[in-house]
Amino acid sequence: MRLLLCALVALLALGLAATAADLGQLARDDKQWVMPQKNYANTRFSGLKQITPDNAAGLHVAWSFSVGTNHGQEAAPIVVGDTMYVVGAYPNELFALDATTGDLKWKYSPRVDPSSQGEACCDVVNRGEVFDNGKIFFNTLDDHTVAVDAKTGKEVWAVKLGEFTKGMTLTMAPLAVKGKILVGNSGGEMGVRGWLTALDENSGKIAWRAYSVGPDKDVLIGPRFHPYYKDAQGKDLGVKTWPPGRWQVGGGPVWGWIAYDPATNLVFYGTGNPGPWNPDERPGDNKWTTTIFARDADTGEAVWADQLNPHDLYDYDEVNENLLLDLPIGGKPTHVLVHPGRDGFMFVIDRATGRIYSADAYDTITSEKSFDIKAGRPVMNPALRTMSNKNVTGICPASPGAKDWQPTAYSPLTRLLYIPHQHLCMDYEASEVGYIAGTPYIGATVDMYAGPGNYRGEFAAWDLTQRKKVWAIHEKFPVWSGTMVTAGNIAVYGTMDRWFKVVDARSGKLLYRFHAPSGFIGQPITYQGADGNQYIAMLSGVGGWAGALAVKSAGLDPRVRNGALGYTGAMGDLPAFTSGGSTLLVFSLGAANAPH
């Protein structure tokens, strides 16, 4: 009996004993970090507390590793047992490293079609991988989802899910839920029709696919669908709220984050913008773009949906993360979904029904006057309505939103939400555009610039109970990295001008910083090594939509303000501070390891 117990413990230490049913339990082991979100609730909170405000100044680089490509590095590493896994931007090589020493265990190189680089809207990024049941799952830019044996690096299966020649790419980190791998597509700026697909994790076969737009049968809307708001009640709204023939190229891709509630067996995620950006070409609400969905994890059936930006005027995707928390509502604990919206509102939503309890501005908003929680719709500012052949100025936030894909973190100790985000406004002129498969389907010229106060980024702490900002750190550039927070009361993020930062989670006081080889747009994680030390890991490598100007291979001219869908105007000085990079940096308090 004792030998059997030891064997089971050894398997768990290798991270190979988990099944789909107990992945959530494995995620609760703070020595590991088995999915980019840390857990199904998307909190990015770790119970490790070796690194604290009292000793964080003693951090140093323990080891580093190059993923070998100088595109934007947005991925989060994961740690399972004593092994770290990290995927780079195109060509999406996957590496297995000793989590304590940085020694390379194996490398898997997928055969990614180089032509797919030309179809990526906003750099050839990848946001990470996930572990389940002895396998690592990740996506490639050319529309493949891949399963690799976590111990050997051997390919188990690779499945093609779309055609990049029609503008579709895969950039998101998948999620493993009950033996299924959930994957969404990218390509809203190419007129790609969005979907979320569930694959059988053992075979790669499609279990179900839920489209974002189209008839109810495609969106998997049926008898279980009970939306809270009236404008979501009706048949085939994914067709009727579009002009004839437009929904087929209507966008709504699913390239952000997915949360999962084991108690209700529901997955929650948001859909992207409608296509094109010119709203005059698609009158109507354009359902179900810019929508948060709740779906049954087994079947994909929709249970409720909230469209937060009907007839989107500004490219306000709703792909941002949804944190599953319990907060006091009306004096009693309530199961809620917290969604930092791209439009600048912090939404608190009942995750059983979709009812919106509150929507408070966490950044400057001029595009909308307020959000009507009774109607479930924004109150628009008519003076800033975008339309064809009219340059509309002073729109805040800009198209990337007050916050884009870069994930927040929540600490149950401080009860604060930590928000890395941009602070940008824009001028916007819509124009007519025709759809041609595989080419940009935009119909807008955008010029972005710093918001009020003349800063472009912020790292803020938000009190979800008091519904207000507690403290904020202003940054020169958008804070395009994700963040994480720990029981040691530290929060971590990176800046585009190359600073890795550790701050006091209670006050925001800077505790430690390190000037990296390149700017940060990645996601920090923390874990415990085999030596007992706590480590923090994060990819350095500027790029993505916000940082494309600093990557030479992007070929952008800084003199053209509306390049990169308008971002070059806001980032013209970025190349003076950084260039592209590919370095994984790992920090600790312990004695530095020898170079590897």
Residues 6+ away with beta carbon under 8 Å from 157: 146, 147, 203, 204
CA distance 405 to 413: 25
Residue 337 · residue 269 · CB < 8 Å: no
Residues linked to residue 84 through DSSP beta bridges, in sequence order: 79, 97
Q: Could you count the other beta carbons within 10 Å of the beta carbon of residue 516?
A: 24
Decide if 189 is catalytic. Answer: yes
**Is the separation of the CB atoms in 221 and 302 below 8 Å?**
yes
Indicate the SS3 state at residue 570: helix
3 state DSSP class of 403: coil
Q: How far is CA 185 from the centre of its chain?
A: 13
Tokens 């807008």 found at: 444
Q: Looking at residue 593, what DSSP letter applies?
A: P
Rounded Cα gap, residues 239 and 444, in angstroms: 24
Token look-up 């009996």 returns: 1
Q: Which of 373, 247, 367, 389 is nearest to 306 (CA)?
A: 373
The three-state secondary structure class of 238 is: helix
Greatest CA span in the chain, whole angstroms? 77
Distance, CA of 304 to CA of 359 (rounded, Å): 18
- Report which of 190, 74, 189, 82 is spatially closest to residue 139, judged by C-alpha positions: 74
Active-site residue (options: 82, 123, 189, 447): 189
119 noted as active-site residue: no
Catalytic residue among 39, 42, 273, 309: 273
**Active-site residue numbers?**
189, 273, 315
